[in-house]
Amino acid sequence: MSKRPKAKKRPQILRSVATLRQALAPYRAKGETIALVPTMGALHRGHLALVADARKRADRVAVSIFVNPTQFAPTEDFGSYPRRLEADIKALTEAGVDAVWAPTALAMYPPGFATRVAPEGAALAGLEDKFRPHFFGGVATVVAKLFTQAQPDFAMFGQKDYQQLRVVTQMAKDLDLPLKVIGLPTVRENDGLALSSRNLYLSPQERAAAPTLYRVLKACAAAIKRNENIDAILNIGRGEIESDGFALDYLEARHALTLAPVASRKDGPIRLLVAAKIGKTRLIDNLGV
Ligand code: AMP
């Protein structure tokens, strides 16, 4: 007998809503629970941490890979966003995923498509929405579709995209979608940089500067815990980010659930959120206080 470890089973690759439903129906018929991990592909350890949690929580795991055109503005990186489906499928095979939902743009948005989800609340907090006004409408619409297509019991999202996690959680609640949205911690490089598919864009010099964002978040969180003045702390942080070569979009302290502005720790649990461009690459990060 060969001592080689048994090759893992390749997940089913589904490209249409009908084949996705066919693939998942037998699981549901057996009473198995299903977790969905929505992604745009170019998978890294952050995505795989969501998959690992999904495997613990549910009997079956589906991962969606779809670079969603409606959440990109015409000036953004939709065309150049990294696409590496074969490598992603290999990683998901190793991770023990059951199904990969990789719809074509036509399957997701067939001719005549005319309905959108328009999130409010956290989606209008003046953070990502201020710089990417199209973004949360695109995300909420595609995630609502993913949820109704796969009908999962659980859906895993990263805290890395914190405002998105709040928006999706609220949307599932508001639309009475029968699933539990699970938010999971940000996976980071050793130097603190949050893993992101967009880190592939960074030049060596930009990559060297990128950990500044997390360093500043940590310093601000520590100062807020010492009850120093939040505005003053954030202004120092903003200066540090800019002096390290970033064009800052925002560095803000917000209520961790509503994302409303906070003046002091008495206003509730605080989340620090940052977005900044280095060269052509826009990075975001956040940290709980
Ligand atoms: P994306 O492919 O960038 O749309 O991300 C798909 C999912 O993975 C989202 O829920 C992200 O928040 C999550 N994610 C991305 N990067 C990380 C990370 N470094 N740690 C944890 N989750 C992440």
Which whole number is the average pLDDT over 115-132? 97
Per-position DSSP letters for 46-115, written without gaps between them = HHHHHHHHHHHH-SEEEEEE---GGGS-TTSSTTTS---HHHHHHHHHHTT-SEEE---HHHHS-TT---
Task: Kindly report, residue by residue over 263-288, the tens digit of the pLDDT.
Answer: 899 898 999 999 999 999 999 999 99
Atom of ligand 1 nearest to the CA of 156: 10
Look up 134 and say whether it is catalytic. no
Measure 41 CA to ligand 1 centroid, in angstroms: 10
Where residue 5 falls among pLDDT bands split at 50, 70, 90? low
pLDDT at 81: 84
The residue among 78, 71, 68, 128 whose CA lies nearest residue 284 is: 128
Which whole number is the average pLDDT over 12-28? 97
Per-position DSSP letters for 180-230, written without gaps between them = EEEEEPPPB-TTSPBP-GGGGG--HHHHHHTTHHHHHHHHHHHHHHTT--H
In this predicted structure, the answer to whether residue 141 has a pLDDT above a threshold of 70 is: yes
Measure 112 CA to ligand 1 centroid, in angstroms: 30
The best mutation among 44, 47, 167, 273 to test binding of ligand 1, ranked by most ligand atoms within 8 Å of the C-beta, falls on 47
The DSSP symbol for 124 reads: G
Task: Kindly report, residue by residue over 240-255, the tens digit of the pLDDT.
Answer: 999 999 999 999 999 9
The protein residue whose alpha carbon is closest to atom 14 in ligand 1 is 158
Burial of 30 (0-12, 13-18, 19+ CB in 10 A): exposed
Which whole number is the average pLDDT over 3-7? 65
Atom of ligand 1 nearest to the CA of 161: 12
pLDDT at 268: 86
pLDDT at 189: 97
| Pair 165, 185: CB distance under 8 Å | no
In this predicted structure, the answer to whether residue 3 has a pLDDT above a threshold of 80 is: no
pLDDT at 2: 52
Which whole number is the average pLDDT over 79-104? 95
pLDDT at 206: 97
pLDDT at 6: 66
Measure 161 CA to ligand 1 centroid, in angstroms: 7
Task: Kindly report, residue by residue over 161-217, the tens digit of the pLDDT.
Answer: 999 999 999 999 999 999 999 999 999 999 999 999 999 999 999 999 999 999 999
The best mutation among 50, 78, 181, 217 to test binding of ligand 1, ranked by most ligand atoms within 8 Å of the C-beta, falls on 50
Measure 243 CA to ligand 1 centroid, in angstroms: 28
pLDDT at 4: 66
> Which residues lie with the beta carbon below 6 Å from any ligand 1 atom?
39-40, 46-47, 49-50, 157-158, 160-161, 186-187, 194-197
Task: Kindly report, residue by residue over 45-84, the tens digit of the pLDDT.
Answer: 999 999 999 999 999 999 999 998 998 988 888 988 889 9
pLDDT at 82: 85
